[in-house]
Each structure stands twice: as C-alpha cells, then as structure tokens.
Amino acid sequence: MPDVYNWHLGRPMTYAYEEAHPQKQFVAIFNINRCIGCQTCTGACKATWTFSPGQEHMWWNNVETKPYGGYPQHWDIKTLKLLDEAHQAAGVKAEWDTSQKRDDAPYGVYNGLTISEAPGLNEQALGYLPADNEWRAPNFYEDTSTRYDGDKLGIHTQGASLPEHQTWFFYLQRICNHCTYPACAAACPRQAIYKRPEDGIVLIDQSRCRGYRKCVEQCPYKKSMYRSTTMTSEKCVGCYPRVEGTDPISDGVPMETRCMAVCPGKIRLNGLVDIAADGSWAEMRQHPLYYMIKVEQVALPLYPQFGTEPNIYYIPPRWAPRAYLHQMFGPGVDQAIARYTAPSRELLAVMQLFRTTQKMIFRYEIEEGPLVLETEVNGQPWQMYNDTVIGFDGAGREAVRLTVVEPLHERPAERLNSI
Ligand code: SF4
Ligand code: SF4
Ligand code: SF4
C-alpha cells in the first residue's frame, strides 16, 4: 500500500490509495464541556435525511454518554481491542513521542500501529461488522455515570473537584468525520465511496454501491450504515446542499449543517478550511477553526491513533480522568484543557462565535474593549476583557457581531408583565 502523510500522527502511514487532497475541507469543532445531551442535533439530522423505511436505525448524528454508551454499542472499545491485539501480535507499543512536536506534527509522533498498519491484514483496515442487536438502541446507558462512592447517608465520600471527578460521565457528539484518509473508501471493493474535491465531504455513490458492507466493517467510527430496503450503505452527507450554499435560505454562501445549526447548547462550530497541495492546512490565521485547532490547539481529533485523520475536533471535557481522555484524544489533552480553562484574550472572544449564525464563518476580527474582570484561575491571574468579535461569511460580508459580555436589556416598567 502507498505511504501518505498523516499530520495527526506526525508521520507517514500506509493507506489504500495515493495521497490526494481536496481544495477545501469540511471541519467542525464540538465543545464537549457545553453539551446538554438534548439530542436536538440527532433529531434534526433524522428529520432531514433518515426518516424513510429502512432508515429506522440510522442516526447519522448521535450523542452517546461516555464511558459506557456507544452507537453501535461499544464501537470504540471493540476497535481499540482489535488494535491492542494487533500491537501485541507485532510486539509494538502504542506510544506517542511528544518530544518530536513540529508544525507538521503538532501532537508529536505516534509510534504505534493504525488500523491500516496491523500485521497480517488481508483487508484494507482492521474492523468488525456490528451484530444487528448492537444497533438497537442509539442512546444506551444515557446519563449513566461511573461508580458513585457514597457513605451511609448517600453523601459522596470523595467529593467532586477538578482536575478529575471521581464519579463522572460526559456526552460525546458524533457524526461522520469526513476523514482525510477514509477507511470506508479504502474498504469499498466497488470504489463507490469518494471524497469531494471541493469540500472534502465523503459520500457513497448509491448507483455504484452493492451493499457489501465493507465500509460498515472498516470505518472505525462505525458511521457507515446498511439499509436493507435498498440493499446499499448510507452515511452522513455533510448536509452538502447547505455547505454548497445552494440551500434556499443560504443567500448563496456556505451554511453550517443541520445538526450544527440547531444546537441549543452552542457547542458546535462548522466551516471550510483551505488545504494545500501537500495536504497541510493553508495558513488562515483569522479563520476561527484554523485558530482554535492549529494555533491554540484547544480542539483535538477523536482517536487519532486509528489513522484516518478525522476532521471533527473536540474540546475535551475538563472533569473526566486524564488517562481516559489521552486514549480518546491523544497527548494534546492537558494543554487543550489548560487553555480552555483559562482562555487567552483572543480565544475567549473567538469562542463567542459558536452558534451565532447559520452561515459558515470564514474570518474573524476583534475590536478591543475594556477590562471587566480580574481574578485567578488555577492559582494564576486571569483577566477578562469585553472585546467585540466580528464574523464574516463566505462572501466577505459581516455575518455576526457580538461582545464577550452579554448585553443586559432591562424591560421598561410599564411592560414588566408583558410578553
Ligand atoms: S468516519 Fe467512517 S464513514 Fe466517515 S469518512 Fe471516516 S471512515 Fe468514512
Ligand atoms: S452533517 Fe447533516 S447529514 Fe451529517 S449528521 Fe449532521 S445533519 Fe446529518
Ligand atoms: S444539540 Fe448540541 S447540546 Fe444538544 S445534544 Fe446535540 S450537540 Fe449536545
């Protein structure tokens, strides 16, 4: 198999096809800390794309409760176990060398195996086909925490304080990652899966698909799903009409997807970044996604060790055990949480942009405002400024303008009781 460069791993890796990249890439950040588990995103996707016969089990967007939940059940534990067995067979340790951080290796170098590098593979990647009953409940173990150690009055014996809560859970929001090196595309014997050159969205050509389910088997995130009524596989389409700006309400500019635009928790920010010919991200210093992922490194890929270079990034939850988060998001977790907990002046302003407009934001500017708070975070001095952040859409027009401190509007006395 050819070698391709995977910047999440900081090294080349083997993949089924020669390296090729889109001009732009569909990217999103999900801030786990803010998710309220309301499933509005899940319902929005279902109502838009998967409401027909044969799609009953299709939740292209799902939100699962970690550590026990998963859709299909235990999808990540099962893939991690396969990868672990591959490491044991090869006598290799799945370790990160964080001393080798570079611009093209921001998390250091992963010296373990990816799903396409396991020894003795007679497939394109390690994988398994979930049994039918593993798809039966999209929100199994909802709101189920780890063990609660209470005394005889039921009062927690350890208490809850950062950096790690003793009893914990968090919501993990999941859609297709529109991976740079999609395992689903590598797996397909019909070459029915392709990555669009204009935005990097990964689609299944329904006219070519014969329902062999190799994509279901080899996508490590289990985001390709089989439909028995058409005998083909289907997956998240990245709401491409909205991304193209052809949706009737888009005003001709790229829009965020349905699951992103509806989020009441304001945890999601979705956009397009420019990709250079070598696959690196072209510098877009004033792009909110580029800034948060590449400059601040506050958002991280999900299971980067799988090796597909996923394009959905997560701000990790502050309270979950670090070892669990390191396994899930790689070695950048401690720095990401530290920067999120005490954000820089610029990061605090940029984070206000989450879910303020349905239009994708391609550039931001900040107008400086006054100092409004001086305090300490983690024993260090921290200041808050009431800066104004302005977001610009795909046509370069101002799409949103807002301040760090939410303005207070007082209802006039004569209308105190009116709505
Ligand atoms: S998440 Fe899975 S289905 Fe989506 S592009 Fe990656 S490998 Fe394919
Ligand atoms: S991007 Fe669109 S198709 Fe994909 S999960 Fe979200 S709403 Fe569904
Ligand atoms: S809509 Fe937003 S807050 Fe609600 S579950 Fe989805 S990601 Fe979380």
CB-ligand 2 contact for 239 (6 Å cutoff): yes
SS3 at position 323: helix
Q: According to the model, what pLDDT value does residue 181 have? A: 98
Q: Quote the number of domains for the chain.
A: 2
Q: What is the pLDDT along the chain (419 residues), one digit of tens a residue?
A: 899 999 999 999 999 999 999 999 999 999 999 999 999 999 999 999 999 999 999 999 999 999 999 999 999 999 999 999 999 999 999 999 999 999 999 999 999 999 999 877 888 999 999 999 999 999 999 999 999 888 888 888 888 888 899 899 999 999 999 999 999 999 999 999 999 999 999 999 999 999 999 999 999 999 999 999 999 999 999 999 999 998 888 889 999 999 999 999 999 999 999 999 999 999 999 999 999 999 999 999 999 999 999 999 999 999 999 999 999 999 999 999 999 999 999 999 999 999 999 999 999 999 999 999 999 998 999 999 999 999 999 999 999 999 999 988 888 888 777 66
Which positions ≥6 away from 358 have C-beta within 8 Å? 249, 255, 256, 261
302-324 pLDDT, tens digit each: 999 999 999 999 999 999 999 99
Instruction: Tell me: do 13 and 158 sit in the same domain.
Output: yes
Residue 409, domain member (yes or no): no
Q: Which residues line ligand 3 (CB under 6 A)?
A: 35-41, 63, 171, 173, 263-265, 267
| Residue type present at position 152 | K
Query: Considering every ligand atom, which ligand is closest to the CA of 263?
Result: 3
Residue 413, in any domain of the structure: no
167 lies in the same domain as 200: yes
pLDDT value of position 120: 75
Nearest to 297 by CA among 5, 98, 116: 98
Do 367 and 323 lie in one domain? The reply is: no
What CATH number did the domain enclosing 319 receive? 3.30.70.20
For the segment 261-285, what is each residue's pLDDT rounded down to a tens digit?
A: 999 999 999 999 999 999 999 999 9
Atom index in ligand 1 nearest the CA of residue 185 equals 8
Instruction: Clarify whether residues 148 and 235 are in a common domain.
Output: yes
HSE-up (13 A, CA, CB side) for residue 261: 19
User: If you measure from the C-alpha of residue 346 to the centroid of ligand 1, how many angstroms do you get, rounded to a whole number?
Assistant: 33
Q: Is the CB of 257 under 6 A from ligand 2?
A: yes
Residue of 204, 219, 302 best suited for mutating to test ligand 1, as the one with most atoms within 8 Å of CB: 219
Same-domain pairing of 349 and 289: no
Ligand 2 geometric centre to CA of 249 (Å): 17
| Joined tokens for residue 240 | 């491409």
Of how many residues is the chain composed? 419
For residues 141 and 254, state if they share a domain: yes
Sign of the Cα pseudo-torsion (334, 365, 268, 108, in order): negative
**Is residue 411 in some structural domain?**
no
Domain boundary among 297, 322, 341: 341
Whether 141 and 274 map to the same domain: the answer is yes
- 418 lies in a domain? no
Is residue 103 one of the residues assigned to a domain?
A: yes
Specify whether 306 is located in the same domain as 172: yes
Residue 98, domain extent: 3-341
Does 107 share its domain with 217?
yes
φ, ψ (nearest 5 deg) of residue 125: -155, 160
238 lines ligand 2 (CB under 6 A): yes
Measuring from atom 5 of ligand 1, which residue has the nearest CA?
178
**What is the structure's pLDDT at 255?**
97
Question: Is pTM, for the whole model, over 0.75?
Answer: yes
pLDDT score for 222: 98
Q: What atom of ligand 2 comes closest to residue 50's alpha carbon? A: 8
Pick the residue whose CA is nearest to atom 4 on ligand 3.
38
Q: Which ligand is nearest to the CA of 217?
A: 1
Query: Any idea which ligand is nearest the CA of 255?
Result: 2
Report whether 366 contacts 331 (CB < 8 A).
no
Q: Same domain, yes or no, for 230 and 363?
A: no
Ligand 1 binding pocket, CB closer than 6 Å: 176-179, 182-184, 202, 219, 221, 223-224, 235, 308
The answer to whether the Cα torsion of 265, 201, 253, 283 is positive or negative is: positive
Distance 312 CA to ligand 1 centre (A): 11
Q: Nearest-CA neighbor of 142 among 214, 63, 81?
A: 63
Closest ligand (CA of 59): 2
CB 288 within 8 A of CB 299: no
User: How high is the pLDDT of residue 310?
Assistant: 98
